[in-house]
Structure 1
Amino acid sequence: MKINKRTAAELAAPIVVASGVFGASLRLFDYAFKRVDYVPETSADKQKYADAYWQYMDWYKQVDKATWQLHPDDAANHLVAHFIPAANSKRVVIISHGYKGDGATMANYAQMFHRLGFNVLLPDNRSHGHSAGEYINFGWLDRVDYLDWLKKIIDTIGTDAEIVLFGASMGGATVEMMSGEKLPPQVKVLIADSGYSSIEAELAYLLKKQFHLPKYPFVPLVSLINKRRLGYYLNAVQSTTQLQKNHLPIFFIHGDHDVFVPSEMAFSNYRATQGPREFWLVKGATHVESFWQDPERYQRHIVDFLKKYLPEN
């Protein structure tokens, strides 16, 4: 059978389109998931907090701290954290950082908790900072790594340790995802600032908002790529599903002007959890801006929550 040029073009068109869509999905995956070895500049609306941020960073550089490691002989799974000790304290907070940040970028929260008498552990999550990894996993693999960090804390501090899990943005979602795991009894409370309800929903939201692209076919293709690269489909990465297994007290914090992780996701997370729960919706705050708006007010809310669910002995 002879195929003319027009028929050949008509037959080839779907293949060309599919190839183009898949190529675009590969580029989207690399853009969103591939590690970068620098901390990107903050958004323009938060530049007004730059001086305060660098003051916290100066404190972090000067404070006494130790380097902790997991799997130091395994190049693919080598993880690094920094531990800031507090004198005569059994209280520890693990602080989980945001997307393309590292432990040091959480210096403001670290100083706040340290002044409240907490030992502070600041991990660099997989594919961030000094830790190994090629692709960002948005908290799903990190939640398992944090179980190892918890074991190391208990081995170091003792079985009478009292542990708080705190995270912001991707770190908030990481804490929410940890909530569904079998946590040791030393973990007492959780605090999640600006965490998303699922990475699939977050990716679809940002595709539409930032790139004006539909969820289909891009999100399913990115999910397929993620399955090949990291071993799971994106619909596995659900804060809400994990929170349905949680019975620990949890404090949700979210800005009502957050256009990166919409506050509707925080409400979904709040409804999903099965434990005691509190929610502070911060008026006028954009993404992870609640602390920077008023650090003293932020600390008061944290302290009030801890007094209720983790009182001093």
Structure 2
Amino acid sequence: MNRTAKIILGIALFLVVGLIIAGNYFYAYAVIPTKKDFIATRSEKKSTQLSDAENWFKNNHRTWRLTSKDGLKLAAYYLPAKTTQHKTVIIAHGYMGQATDMPQYAKIYHDLGYNVLMPDARGHGKSEGDYIGFGWPERKDYLQWINQIIEKDSHAEIVLHGVSMGGATVMMTSGEKLPNNVKAFVEDCGYSSVTAELSYQLKQLFNLPAFPLVPVTSLITKIRAGYFWGEADAIKQLKKNHRPMLFIHGDKDDFVPYSMLAEVYHATKGPKERYVVHGAKHAGSLTKDPNMYQEKVAHFVQQYVP
């Protein structure tokens, strides 16, 4: 091997090693469930409405559990309706959140007469897991939660409502083979795909292009967590969905860009509605306009679960 070939080989090896190091760093940054410094913490004073919902949640829930197909012990909180009802909603929380963040959403449905199930996603809250699935492996977990509801009530009528990563989880679940008990979906500010969202975040946070770091980190995710980012595609799943879905997004969202709303809305094959909350940032639609949010959700789900 001549000197030039050795230099080229050395540079190539250096680049490969550098990409592997960078890919593992970005994997840890995005996929391992630890405290994320790029997620803003909310320190504003809680509204009376939120405090009331939190108190209601604390005083009324009980815990459900299941073991996922890949052996993780998962937890969820169940809040029964005031009177015996067949209507149940499953509420999906966001990235690095947990079910206990979602009492305001749960209360909307409880006031409509629903039982409420609020799972902790794998790697979050009280559920086991050492990686974040961004909704892709979670869609299979949600099939198990759906089946657990039906095992307890064969006449259950089920709605899924998710926010942020939970919204993506709901959309990804919609493309699975679901029992007829599942009647409708509500997704709030979910992303079109994991590749698109993390490419956007890579640009926003580090001003780096998607290639080659995103494909490399996706491969690392496949090795370490069992899925490629390219598999986790809400648009592909929505194209298989024929059930009703309400899409919600704030037009000032700069975490999951507002432009993704049009992509996911046009992808689904079922009945659909779109609700844009003007001035709302990421996952802020309910806080921005709580009365209209509740009205829109109630009107939508009552069309399919009277």
Please give the range of the TM-score, normalised by the shorter of the 2 chains.
Answer: over 0.9
Say yes or no: does 1:22 pair with 2:17. no
TM-superposed CA distance for 1:122, in Å, is 0.5
Q: Which runs of 5+ in 1 are unaligned?
A: none
Say yes or no: does 1:263 pair with 2:258. yes
Say yes or no: does 1:91 pair with 2:63. no
TM-superposed CA distance for 1:229, in Å, is 1.4
TM-superposed CA distance for 1:11, in Å, is 4.5
SS in 1 for 2:44: helix
SS in 1 for 2:269: coil
Q: Report if the CA contact (8 A) 2:87-2:305 is conserved.
A: no
TM-superposed CA distance for 1:42, in Å, is 6.1
* Amino acid aligned to 2:196: A
Other-structure match for 2:128: 132
Tell me how far apart the structure 2 counterparts of residues 301 and 48 of structure 1 sit (CA, whole Å): 26
* Amino acid aligned to 1:93: V
Q: Report if the CA contact (8 A) 1:124-1:130 is conserved.
A: yes
TM-superposed CA distance for 1:246, in Å, is 0.7
1:155-195 C-alpha deviation (Å, 9 max, x unpaired): 11x22211111100000010000111111111111000001
Tell me how far apart the structure 1 counterparts of residues 70 and 143 of structure 2 sit (CA, whole Å): 19
Other-structure match for 1:60: 57
TM-superposed CA distance for 1:9, in Å, is 5.6
Tell me how far apart the structure 2 counterparts of residues 193 and 241 of structure 1 sit (CA, whole Å): 18
Other-structure match for 1:195: 190
Matches within 5 A, 1:206-217: 206-217=201-212
Other-structure match for 1:289: 284
Other-structure match for 1:32: 30
SS in 2 for 1:263: coil
Other-structure match for 1:120: 116
Rate the CA distance shift 1:297–1:39 in 2: closer, same or farther, 3 A.
farther
TM-superposed CA distance for 1:61, in Å, is 1.6
Matches within 5 A, 1:93-112: 93-112=89-108
* Amino acid aligned to 1:221: V
Tell me how far apart the structure 1 counterparts of residues 224 and 191 of structure 2 sit (CA, whole Å): 22
* Amino acid aligned to 2:19: V
User: Greater shift after overlay, 186-195 or 107-116?
Assistant: 107-116
1:208-256 C-alpha deviation (Å, 9 max, x unpaired): 0111111011000011001111222111111011111111110000011
Say yes or no: does 1:48 pair with 2:44. yes
Rate the CA distance shift 1:13–1:40 in 2: closer, same or farther, 3 A.
closer
Rate the CA distance shift 1:212–1:154 in 2: closer, same or farther, 3 A.
same
SS in 2 for 1:214: coil
Say yes or no: does 1:185 pair with 2:183. no
SS in 2 for 1:122: strand
SS in 2 for 1:301: helix
Q: Report if the CA contact (8 A) 1:81-1:121 is conserved.
A: yes
Other-structure match for 1:273: 268
**Percent identity between the two aligned chains:** 43
1:235-278 C-alpha deviation (Å, 9 max, x unpaired): 11110111111111100000111101112211111101000000
TM-superposed CA distance for 1:302, in Å, is 0.7
Tell me how far apart the structure 2 counterparts of residues 42 and 261 of structure 1 sit (CA, whole Å): 12
Say yes or no: does 1:176 pair with 2:171. yes
Rate the CA distance shift 1:80–1:13 in 2: closer, same or farther, 3 A.
same
SS in 2 for 1:15: helix
Structure 1 vs Structure 2 CA RMSD: 2.2
SS in 2 for 1:67: strand
Q: Report if the CA contact (8 A) 1:76-1:132 is conserved.
A: no
* Amino acid aligned to 1:256: D
* Amino acid aligned to 2:40: S
Q: Which runs of 5+ in 2 are unaligned?
A: none
* Amino acid aligned to 2:199: A
TM-superposed CA distance for 1:109, in Å, is 0.5
